[in-house]
A and B are shown apart, each in its own frame.
Chain A
Amino acid sequence: MDRDDCAGKKQEGFSVARMLEERGVSRRDFLKFCSTVTAAMALPATMAPKVAQALDKVQRPPLVWLEFQDCAGDTEALLRSANPTVGELVLDILSVDYHETIMAAAGHQAEANLEKTVKEFQGKYLCVVEGSIPMKEGGAYGCVGGKSHLARAKQVCGSAAATIAVGTCASYGGIAAAAPNPTGAVGVKEAVPGATVINLPGCPCNADNLTAVVVHFLTFGKLPALDSHGRPLFAYGKRIHDNCERRPHFDAGQYVEHWGDDAHRKGHCLYKMGCKGPATFHNCPTQRFNEKVSWPVAAGHGCVGCSEPQFWDTSPLYRRLPNVPGFGIEQNADKIGLAFAAGVGGAFAIHGAMNALRKDKEPAADEETKEGGE
């Protein structure tokens, strides 16, 4: 599509093209953004013009952003996202009616905005959720504006067109759900089973993936294909290990043994330092963070598996295998296994010694024929 084409679209009211023009974002930058986000969604390059067309025609869908038991880390990740059009698209194309961290309104005015959106745009607005929802004691562990998180989630997520759970807490309960989970924290899908939820776990979730999901929704009117954990396949369809830039060192057998050793300085594989890349599905190695500058493994630290369910309980950060449940913290699977094998070996050694010393009666032939035979 060329520029005249868009200039002809002098429609009344809102238009992405006009909005971007007003903000000094060139058409070229907009199309560049469309290509990048198309690639992020794992769609063929030929889809980029379709994405641009769809975004041109888009009506401003309202969006509300709810925060429950969270650290606002996903909000931070979004606000810090460097791509200039990301902010425009997510915060301006969408009409953000409610966001506790960044909205100007406060108190009853803010709550009235939320009520209004939920009532007027029933089934049409998007809802983004950050943070887990406490379920214990009827949801008494968290409330905003006099309403429990659980009640708000049921009301707002329940009547949204779709709910995007950003971050690990909103997806599966996250850190707040770590054993013994005192507040009974769960993710959105578990708290509101009837809602249409897409999970974007990660600590924080990658703002580029959030943008891609929103653009997908605006372009196709539906959520992208999901995996069994409700995560979009374009972002969580491949293992970190399989796209890792340190993978050749893994295959070659070159591993970091200690922090700061020679191999660590050379950028070898962090497998033995407890990297969870082989057990984590995310597009960190390709999408990266902060204007695609870096990501944990590139920075020299192993993946902690932050986008996997229960990573907080099942994975010691600096050991490859989880601890064995029911045993002390320092007992790993190999120590227990070795002790078990030694115990079995010892028991049979004693048994063997006793057998060597004892005298048997010879087998009696008469007994064996009793069963009949053939």
Chain B
Amino acid sequence: MSEKKFKQYIWELPVRWCHWVNVLSIVVLAATGILIGNPVFIGSSTDAYLMGWIRFIHFVFAYAFAVSVITRMIWTFRGNCYAGWREYFPFMGAAGRKEMKEVFDYYTFRSKHPPETTGHNPMAATAYFVLFLVYWFMILTGFAMYAEHAPGGTMHSLLKPVYVIFTTQQMHLYHHLAMWLIFGFVINHVYSAWLMDIKEKGGEISSMFSGYKFTTSPYAVCKSRHWDFFPWKKKK
């Protein structure tokens, strides 16, 4: 138990900020969204404006969430290699595939060797890519429903493709269903972070506050540096 650990700066400030803004906005958006879908509260008088405020909060955090997701996407091009967009496709490189298999084997009890992941856990990173798609689905359907208060306005015109794909009722339904999908992710995410914090002993959870992880190797390894997953490129 007395192995030596090295401190590595992994998560830069924008990554951490975006993470916690996402957490806060998802919690608030889900709570207000459930109440909008099924208002269990009762306004005592006509000027109570309860639903009005709940919808207002929902919209404010919707903007915060959208800004956070866009900022994080920009940071995949500006930030360090752990924040980079290649991280979300770990299966594109040999190192990533190897690590992915190690993590998968450990999760499915086929290996007793807890993998050490410096940046993103490759299984998690793949899930985050899918999650980003769900985020964008929520942002686009959400703002499309929001923009219906002013048809023909700028936002409504920009979101025209969304109205072509979905009817308004379908948007409401799938916006609702995707929230449960995110709930499923959150359960998985919190559990996995807790599990890997215990098993990996690399400071998984605190790294999202401090930015630092602890590794057995003195060198930080970025597995997404090289891709080799292009079938049309011959191996030398």
Contact = CB atoms under 8 A, between A and B. Distances in A.
Interface in A220-253: 227-228, 233, 237-239, 242, 248-253
Interface stretch (A86-94, A107-115, A138-146, A309-317): A309-317
Contact of A333 (B1, B49, B173): B173
A368 B177 contact: no
Interface string A335-374: 0111011001100100110110011111111001101111
A250 B218 CA distance: 60
A306 B211 CA distance: 54
A98 interface: no
B219 A352 contact: no
Nearest to B172: A321
A279 B49 CA distance: 21
B14 interface: no
Nearest to A362: B3
Contacts of A320: 37-38, 172
Interface in A271-321: 271-272, 276, 278-281, 305, 308-311, 314-315, 320-321
Interface residues of A, number: 61
Contact of B109 (A309, A348, A358): A358
Nearest to B183: A341
A155 to B, nearest CB: 31
Nearest to A344: B184
Contacts of A73: none
B143 to A, nearest CB: 15
Contacts of B38: 272, 320, 334
Interface stretch (B69-77, B124-132, B145-153, B227-235): B145-153
B32 interface: no
A228 B167 contact: no
Contacts of B148: 239
Interface string A259-275: 00000000000011000
Contacts of A75: none
B140 interface: no
B195 to A, nearest CB: 6
A344 B188 CA distance: 7
Nearest to A310: B167
Contacts of A369: 217, 219
B168 A361 contact: no
Given A228-B163, A320-B37, A363-B216, A237 B152 contact: yes
A61 interface: no
Contact of A322 (B50, B173, B184, B199): B173
B160 interface: yes
A254 B3 CA distance: 63
Given A251-B52, A344-B188, A371 B221 contact: yes
A363 B113 contact: yes
A363 B201 CA distance: 9
Contacts of B163: 228
Contact of A253 (B39, B116, B200): B39
A324 interface: yes
A321 to B, nearest CB: 5
Contacts of A336: 177, 180
A68 interface: no
B151 A341 contact: no
A125 interface: no
Contacts of A227: 151-152
B165 interface: no
B217 A365 contact: yes
A255 interface: yes
B180 A250 contact: no
A109 B201 CA distance: 92
B169 A315 contact: yes
A16 to B, nearest CB: 33
Interface in B60-107: 95, 107
B208 interface: no
Contacts of A360: 112-114, 199
A27 B217 CA distance: 95
A359 B184 CA distance: 27
B154 interface: no
Given A252-B49, A321-B37, A363-B216, A341 B180 contact: yes
A248 to B, nearest CB: 5
Given A242-B149, A337-B176, A363-B216, A253 B50 contact: yes
B46 A252 contact: yes
Given A239-B148, A322-B173, A253 B216 contact: no
Contact of A281 (B42, B151, B169, B222): B151
Interface string A38-54: 00000000000000000
B221 A255 contact: no
Given A252-B43, A281-B151, A308 B169 contact: yes
Q: 9 tightest CB-CB pairs across the interface, nearest first?
A: A373-B219, A337-B180, A253-B43, A253-B50, A252-B43, A279-B168, A251-B52, A368-B217, A365-B216
Given A271-B39, A341-B180, 17 more contacts: A233-B151, A239-B148, A249-B43, A252-B45, A253-B50, A305-B169, A314-B167, A321-B37, A333-B176, A340-B183, A348-B188, A354-B109, A360-B114, A361-B113, A363-B115, A363-B216, A374-B219
